[in-house]
Amino acid sequence: MRFASWRDPASGEAKVSGLRLALESTYLPGFVDSFIEGQVKNPLTPEVVSNLPADIRQQAQQFLEPGIGNTPQFLIGPLFRPDTRKTVIAANYHFGISLLQRAGRIRPDSPYAKQLLDSLSTFLTAGYTPAPTMPSTAPSSPLEQVIHQALLLCFR
């Protein structure tokens, strides 16, 4: 597992909204967990923790772990080495799309998502075929368009 870090270069009280980052990678895209955190004037760092008394240091160490004090987000990012089995990639997308439907970010009645999930299920249960069949229905939302583009990179 690798972590990528980005810091908003804006100064002052600027707020980041609708953030969209482009990462360059040789890895194929998949659904990944991300953690968004605000910048504070006096952050808890490994150096600060190392200067605490031993009994407190051990307890404070857990607050340096990713995800503590952050807002988790589910997004598409570089995840799979180019030689990753296509079934692993298909399972990741099936899980991610299903999760996004349950969260209400993709409509449960979306024709594109329904066709895609059916195709991924068929691919995963049918054994070896070169790639899942892409839906004949066009993506109906910006999120579905991003997923479609990512899948084209993975299964070309």
Question: What pLDDT tens digit does each residue of the chain (156 aa) get?
Answer: 566 665 655 555 555 555 565 667 889 999 998 776 666 677 778 888 898 888 888 888 877 776 666 677 778 989 999 999 999 999 999 999 999 999 999 999 999 999 999 999 999 998 667 789 999 999 999 999 999 999 999 998
Domain end position, chosen among 73, 106, 136: 73
Domain end position, chosen among 21, 40, 73: 73
Domain-embedded: residue 18: no
HEC readout, the chain: CCCCCCCCCCCCCCCCCCCCCCCCCCCEEEEEEEEECCCCCCCCCHHHHHCCCHHHHHHHHHHHCCCCCCEEEEEEEEEECCCCCHHHHHHHHHHHHHHHHHCCCCCCCCHHHHHHHHHHHHHHHCCCCCCCCCCCCCCCCHHHHHHHHHHHHHCC
Domain end position, chosen among 46, 73, 100: 73
pTM, two decimals, is 0.73
Domain-embedded: residue 149: yes
